[in-house]
Chain A
Amino acid sequence: MSLVINEEQNMLKSSAKELLDLKSPISLMRKLRDDNYNQFDSNLWNEMVEMGWTALTIPEEYNGLNFGYVGLGQVIEEMGRKLTVSPMISTVLVSTSMISMSNNDVLKSKLFDEIMSGNKLCTLAHEESSHHSPNIDLSIISNNNEKFILNGKKRFVIDGSISDYLIVSANSEFNGSLELIVIDSKSKGITFNNKVHMDSKIYSDITFNNVEFSKDNFLSVDSDGQKILNKTLEIACVGLAAEMLGIIQQAFEMTMQYLKEREQFGVKIGSFQALQHRSAIMFGEIELCKSIVLKALQAIDSNDKNLSELASLAKSKLGLTSKLVTNEAVQMHGGIGVTDDADIGFFLKRSRVLQRIFGDSNYHLDRVAKFNKY
Chain B
Amino acid sequence: METQVKVDLTDFRLETRKWLEENCPISMRGPVTDAKQLYWGGRNGKFNSEDQKVWFERMLEKKWIVPYWETKYGGGGLSSVQNNILNQEMQRLGCRKPHINFGISMLGPALLKFATEEQKIHYLNQICRGEIRWVQGYSEPNAGSDLANLQTKAEDKGDHFLVTGSKVWTSYGDKGDFIFCLVRTSSESKHTGISFLLIDMSSEGVSTRPIKLISGKSPFTETFFDSVKVPKKNLVGTLNDGWTIAKYLLTHERQMIGGVGETEKKKALSEVAIESIGITNGLLSNDSIRSKIANLEMNEKIFELTIQRALDEHKAGNNSGAVSSFFKYYGTELAMQKEELRLEVNGFNSTEWTSEESNNGVYARYFCRSKGHSIEGGTHEVQLNIIAKRVLGLPSK
From A284, A287, A374, contact of B279 by CB (8 A): A374
Cβ contacts B372-384/A at 8 Å (1 or 0 each): 0000000001011
The answer to whether A288 touches B299, judged by C-beta atoms less than 8 angstroms apart, is yes
The answer to whether B385 touches A3, judged by C-beta atoms less than 8 angstroms apart, is no
The number of residue pairs between A and B whose CB atoms lie closer than 8 Å in the complex comes to: 130
The answer to whether A317 touches B397, judged by C-beta atoms less than 8 angstroms apart, is no
Residues of A within 8 A of B391 (CB): 280, 283
Q: How far is the CA of A287 from the CA of B392 in the complex (A)?
A: 13
Q: Does A373 contact B (CB under 8 A)?
A: yes
Stretch from B80-88, B225-233, B235-243, B306-314 forming part of the interface with A: B306-314
Cβ contacts B250-288/A at 8 Å (1 or 0 each): 000000000000000000101001100001001110000
From A4, A270, A271, A317, contact of B309 by CB (8 A): A4
The answer to whether A295 touches B305, judged by C-beta atoms less than 8 angstroms apart, is yes
Stretch from A19-27, A68-76, A81-89, A364-372 forming part of the interface with B: A364-372
The answer to whether B309 touches A316, judged by C-beta atoms less than 8 angstroms apart, is no
The answer to whether B395 touches A279, judged by C-beta atoms less than 8 angstroms apart, is no
Q: How far is the CA of A358 from the CA of B264 in the complex (A)?
A: 38
Interface residues on B, range: 35 or more
The answer to whether A294 touches B294, judged by C-beta atoms less than 8 angstroms apart, is no
The answer to whether B394 touches A279, judged by C-beta atoms less than 8 angstroms apart, is yes
Stretch from B109-117, B316-324, B348-356 forming part of the interface with A: B316-324
Q: How far is the CA of A268 from the CA of B394 in the complex (A)?
A: 9
The answer to whether B270 touches A290, judged by C-beta atoms less than 8 angstroms apart, is no
Q: How far is the CA of A316 from the CA of B381 in the complex (A)?
A: 27
Q: How far is the CA of A267 from the CA of B395 in the complex (A)?
A: 9
Residues of B within 8 A of A295 (CB): 305
Q: Does A313 contact B (CB under 8 A)?
A: yes
Q: Does B329 contact A (CB under 8 A)?
A: yes
Q: How far is the CA of A105 from the CA of B291 in the complex (A)?
A: 43
The answer to whether A4 touches B318, judged by C-beta atoms less than 8 angstroms apart, is yes
Q: Does B393 contact A (CB under 8 A)?
A: yes
Q: Does A305 contact B (CB under 8 A)?
A: no
Q: How far is the CA of A277 from the CA of B384 in the complex (A)?
A: 5
Interface residues on A, range: 35 or more
Q: Would you call the interface of chain A mostly helix, strand, loop, or mixed? A: helix
From B270, B294, B385, B397, contact of A267 by CB (8 A): B397
The answer to whether B312 touches A3, judged by C-beta atoms less than 8 angstroms apart, is yes
Q: How far is the CA of A288 from the CA of B306 in the complex (A)?
A: 6
From B309, B394, B397, contact of A276 by CB (8 A): B394
Residues of A within 8 A of B388 (CB): 276-277, 279-280
The answer to whether B297 touches A368, judged by C-beta atoms less than 8 angstroms apart, is yes
Q: Name A175-217 residues within 8 Å CB distance of B.
A: none
Q: Does A2 contact B (CB under 8 A)?
A: yes
Residues of A within 8 A of B47 (CB): none
Q: Does B1 contact A (CB under 8 A)?
A: no
Contact A374 to B270, CB < 8 A, known contacts A284-B330, A290-B309: yes
A183 to chain B, nearest CB (A): 37
Residues of A within 8 A of B294 (CB): 365-366, 368-369, 372
Residues of B within 8 A of A144 (CB): none
Residues of A within 8 A of B309 (CB): 3-4, 290-291, 294
The answer to whether B274 touches A374, judged by C-beta atoms less than 8 angstroms apart, is yes
Q: How far is the CA of A309 from the CA of B197 in the complex (A)?
A: 51
Q: How far is the CA of A316 from the CA of B298 in the complex (A)?
A: 8
Residues of B within 8 A of A348 (CB): none
Q: Name A266-323 residues within 8 Å CB distance of B.
A: 267-268, 270-271, 273, 275-277, 279-281, 283-284, 287-292, 294-295, 313, 316-317
The answer to whether A259 touches B394, judged by C-beta atoms less than 8 angstroms apart, is yes
Q: How far is the CA of A279 from the CA of B329 in the complex (A)?
A: 14
Residues of B within 8 A of A362 (CB): 291
The answer to whether A373 touches B397, judged by C-beta atoms less than 8 angstroms apart, is no
Q: How far is the CA of A121 from the CA of B313 in the complex (A)?
A: 38
Residues of B within 8 A of A259 (CB): 394
The answer to whether A271 touches B274, judged by C-beta atoms less than 8 angstroms apart, is no
Contact A271 to B397, CB < 8 A, known contacts A277-B384, A280-B392: yes
From B312, B321, B394, contact of A287 by CB (8 A): B321
The answer to whether B384 touches A374, judged by C-beta atoms less than 8 angstroms apart, is no
A36 to chain B, nearest CB (A): 40
Contact A281 to B306, CB < 8 A, known contacts A4-B313, A271-B395: no
Cβ contacts A238-265/B at 8 Å (1 or 0 each): 0000000000000000001001100000
B89 to chain A, nearest CB (A): 21
Q: How far is the CA of A245 from the CA of B290 in the complex (A)?
A: 27
Q: Does B295 contact A (CB under 8 A)?
A: yes
Q: Does B326 contact A (CB under 8 A)?
A: yes
Q: Does B303 contact A (CB under 8 A)?
A: yes
Q: How far is the CA of A280 from the CA of B390 in the complex (A)?
A: 10
The answer to whether A317 touches B312, judged by C-beta atoms less than 8 angstroms apart, is no
The answer to whether A372 touches B270, judged by C-beta atoms less than 8 angstroms apart, is yes
Q: How far is the CA of A312 from the CA of B52 in the complex (A)?
A: 44
From B268, B312, B387, contact of A284 by CB (8 A): B387
Give the B-binding residues of A (Cβ under 8 A): 2-4, 256, 259-260, 267-268, 270-271, 273, 275-277, 279-281, 283-284, 287-292, 294-295, 313, 316-317, 362, 365-366, 368-370, 372-374
When A and B form their complex, which 8 residue pairs have the shortest distance between CB atoms, in order from nearest?
A: A276-B388, A280-B387, A3-B309, A280-B384, A291-B305, A374-B270, A270-B394, A291-B306
* 8 pairs, CB–CB < 8 Å, chain A vs chain B: A276-B384, A280-B326, A283-B387, A284-B387, A287-B320, A291-B305, A292-B305, A369-B284
Known: A256-B392, A313-B298, A374-B284. 14 other contacts (CB 8 A): A4-B309, A4-B316, A4-B318, A259-B394, A267-B397, A270-B395, A271-B395, A276-B392, A283-B391, A284-B322, A288-B299, A288-B306, A369-B284, A369-B293
